[in-house]
Amino acid sequence: MDATGVAARATDLWKVYGSGEAQVIALRGVNVELERGRFTAVMGPSGSGKSTLMHCLAGLDSVTRGRVCIGDTEVTGLGDAGLTRLRRDKVGFVFQQFNLLPTLTAAENILLPLAIAGRKPDRQWYDTVIDTVGLRDRLGHRPAQLSGGQQQRVACARAMVARPDVIFADEPTGNLDSRSGAEVLAFLRRSVRDYGQTVVMVTHDPNAASQADRVIFLEDGQIVDEMRDPTPEAVLDRLKGLDASAAAPDAAATTNAGGSDRRC
Ligand code: ADP
């Protein structure tokens, strides 16, 4: 993590899929800084580039042009081995589909990334994480024996236990009922507030986004707006404006945070 309080940064980030007539420009020069110890939500219409941005930031997808830094590591400069280390040591993931291994218990799932990395868990931190997500009495259960909300809490604990620089969450409440979704959001929020975790979350849900400190709005591969201390109503209003202006993308002013700084 660098001294400027930036956990992750994208600079003039472009992502182009395919070529010729099949070409899709998913990201068009995105500049953004994600502050350390903050909860940032990424919103925008379907197809606006939210998942692509998150995958490029997390080193899960290559970029066409531009730079991505996580802490002081330039992700876009890494080879395969470096990317594997980055994904193992510096980032945590929470996916809509939970992505737990069905044959492992909750505890084994939570500890798996550390086991693969050959790292011993910090026992005290492990206990804190387990108590924070409220899974103490479910640790010996397999995913099929857990509710969706409990499975997602296992996934959150798995992401957090390695103390990553950034947790990336892709629609983490997308498969959950509203109560379980609220629990997962409360946990993510608490990991930021109480433990200084950095969380970046893609969501369609204004209620989920309102849990964040800051919402970034994407449209047609560009950041077109952002909001601090969001409320569900304000987020919903802004989204309506985006959908209405989708036919005229040039009308949207780019208020990209960050800039031309080339340092990580
Ligand atoms: P969002 O997450 O906002 O719905 P995505 O990042 O998934 O948007 O997609 C942005 C654009 O890139 C869309 O037009 C989508 O069809 C396109 N896209 C995403 N992934 C691929 C891919 N692997 N190949 C080709 N086009 C893709």
- Spell out which residues line ligand 1, taking CB within 6 angstroms: 17-18, 24, 26, 44, 46-52
Q: Given a cut of 60, is residue 2 above it in pLDDT?
A: no
Q: What pLDDT, on a 0 to 100 scale, did the predictor assign at position 132? A: 86
Test site for ligand 1: of 21, 23, 24, most ligand atoms within 8 A of the Cβ: 24
Query: What confidence category does residue 246 fall into, taking pLDDT thresholds of 50, 70 and 90?
Result: low
- What atom of ligand 1 comes closest to residue 15's alpha carbon? 12
Q: Which residue's CA lies nearest to atom 6 of ligand 1?
A: 49
Q: Which residue's CA lies nearest to atom 16 of ligand 1?
A: 47
Residue 20: other Cβ atoms inside 10 A: 5
Q: Which residue's CA lies nearest to atom 26 of ligand 1?
A: 17
According to CATH, the topology of domain 38-63+77-257 is Rossmann fold (3.40.50)
Least confidently predicted of 80-84, 183-187, 216-220, 259-263:
259-263
What average pLDDT does the chain have?
90
Q: Rounded to the nearest whole angstrom, what is the distance from the C-alpha of residue 51 to the centroid of ligand 1?
A: 7
Q: Pairing mode, if any, of strands 199-202 and 39-43?
A: parallel
| pLDDT (average), residues 8-27 | 96
| pLDDT (average), residues 83-101 | 92
Whose tokens are 């109480």? That residue is: 194
Query: What confidence category does residue 188 fall into, taking pLDDT thresholds of 50, 70 and 90?
Result: very high
* Spacing of C-alpha 257 from chain mean position: 18
Query: What confidence category does residue 213 fall into, taking pLDDT thresholds of 50, 70 and 90?
Result: very high
% of the chain with per-residue pLDDT over 90: 78
- What atom of ligand 1 comes closest to residue 44's alpha carbon? 3
Q: Rounded to the nearest whole angstrom, what is the distance from the C-alpha of residue 26 to the centroid of ligand 1?
A: 6
Q: What pLDDT, on a 0 to 100 scale, did the predictor assign at position 88? A: 86
Encode pLDDT of 196-208 as tens digits.
Answer: 999 999 999 999 9
Q: What pLDDT, on a 0 to 100 scale, did the predictor assign at position 52? A: 96
Q: What pLDDT, on a 0 to 100 scale, did the predictor assign at position 264? A: 72
